[in-house]
Amino acid sequence: MALSFMMFGSLVWLGLYISNRDKHNKLFLICGFCLMLAAVSIGSTLVLSASDLLVSSFLFPLLCLHLSFIAWLIAALGACAAKEEESQKNILLWKKLSPSDSIIAALTLLLYAIIAVNGWMGSWNFAVEWLLILLGLTLSLFTIRLLIKELKAQGEAWLPDLLRSLDYSVIFTAIFSGQVVVVIQLSADWSSTTVMLLLLSICISVAFQVFVYPIRALLDSIAFATFPKLREERAHLRMVEDVQVRVDEQAEPEEMDEEELYRHTRRALSQFGDLQRLATSPLTQLKLIEKRLRDRGADDDVVERAIELKTVLLESIGHLKPRQDEAFGTADEWRYYNALYYPYIVGIKPYSLRYSADKLDASSLEAFEWFRTYVPERTYYNWQNAGAKLVALRLKEKNAC
C-alpha cells in the first residue's frame, strides 16, 4: 500500500508539473491529463480496497484507466509525428524511435491491456495493484523523456526546475502528509475515509508547491494591496526566480546553424508579448544582447536580457519596412513586414473568429481587413516563415559585428 501512495503522489506531481511547465504546449497538457487520470485510478483503487467492496465497484478506476489510455495514445502519437513544413506532409517518426523509447511505449501499452482485461473479467486483485504501480512508472518515464526532448528543442534547461519542484514537493508532502500517516497509524484506522483524507492531503501538498508562484502572487496582491510599487518589485523578483532555473546558461547561440537559429527566432517572435516565456529563449544568451546591456549600463539578469531581446527583434522587424514615412502598405515589398509586425508586435489575429478589432488604430485596422480579405491563411504563414528567416539572418549579422 505504501508504494501505491508513493506512486499516486508521483503521478499527481508529474502531471501537475508538466501541465504547468508550459501551458501553451498541448502535448504537455495531454500528458498531464493522462498522468492525473492514472493517479485517480490508483487513488480510487486504494479507497475501494480499504472499503472491502465487491469487484464490480472497481468500474470507476477502470474507467479512469481507459480515459488515461486514450490521453496517453494521443500524446504518444503526437510525440511520434512531426509536420515537415517544406513538403507539407505529416511524417510518422515511430521508425526513428530509440530502442529505449520503443520498449517504454510497448510496455506501457501491454500494461494498459493486461489491467483492462483483468478489470473487465472481474479480477481486480492484489496483482492488478502492482501492475498499476508498474504502469505509473512507465508513464512517468515516458513523460519525463518527452519533457526533456521538448525542452531541449526549445533551448530551455530542464533539470534545475524539475529537481526544484520535485524536492520541494517531496519535503512539503513528507512534512504535512506524514503527520496524517502518523495519526492514522496510531489509531489503526485505515478506512476508506482516512485513506481518502491522506490522498487529499498529498494532492494539496503537491499542488501548493507546483503552483507556488501563482499562489504567492495572489497572496501578495492581498497583503500589499495598498503598496503597488512593492507588489511590482516582488513580481519582478518572482519572475527572475522562476525563469532563472529554466534558462540554459550553457547555450551557445553563436554556434547554431541557420536552421536552428531560424527556429528559435520564430519561437521568440511568437512569444514577443510574453516577457516571461521570451526570457527562456537561448537568444537571450547572444553576445549582442550582453554588449547592448553593458552599453546602456543595465543589470545583466534574465528579465533585462528578455527586454533587450524584444528591442532587438523590434528593430529587426522595423528594418524590413520598405518606407519609414508610411504606416502601412500592400505592395509586395511590404508583405514580410506586415506578416511580422501586425500579428506579433500589434497582436492582431486576422483569422480568429473570436478576435475583436475594436481597439486597433487606423493602420492596424486597415492591415487587419487586408489580411482577412486579400491574403489566404496559408500565404500568411509562408510570409511569416520567410520574414522570420530574414530576422534570424539580421540577428546573425548584427551579432557578428
Domain boundaries, the chain: 2-210, 253-400
pLDDT of residue 116: 85
SS3 234: helix
**What are the backbone angles phi and psi of residue 92, rounded to the nearest 5°?**
-75, 135
Joined together, the cell numbers standing for residue 384 give 511569416
Q: Quick one: which of 135, 77, 132, 65 has its CA closest to 107?
A: 135
Residue 182 exposed, middle or buried by CB count within 10 Å (0-12, 13-18, 19+) = exposed
Name, in order, each residue with C-beta under 8 angstroms of 145's C-beta and a sequence gap of 6 or more: 100, 101, 104
pLDDT of residue 208: 94
**What are the backbone angles phi and psi of residue 147, rounded to the nearest 5°?**
-60, -45
Q: Quick one: which of 36, 33, 35, 31 has its CA closest to 76?
A: 31
Alpha helices (runs of H) in 2-125, residue ranges in sequence order: 2-21, 26-51, 59-79, 99-120
Each residue's pLDDT, cut to its tens digit, for the chain (401 residues) gives 789 999 999 999 999 999 999 998 999 999 999 999 999 999 998 888 887 654 456 788 888 999 999 999 998 888 776 443 333 333 344 444 567 888 898 999 999 998 888 877 766 666 788 899 999 999 999 999 999 999 998 999 999 999 999 999 999 999 999 999 998 888 877 888 899 999 999 999 999 999 999 999 999 999 999 999 999 999 989 999 999 999 998 888 988 989 999 999 999 999 999 999 999 999 999 999 999 999 988 888 899 999 999 999 999 999 999 988 888 999 999 999 999 999 999 999 999 888 888 889 999 999 999 999 999 999 999 999 999 999 999 999 988 87
pLDDT of residue 70: 93
CB neighbourhood size of 324 (10 A): 7
Contact 388, 266 (CB under 8 A): yes
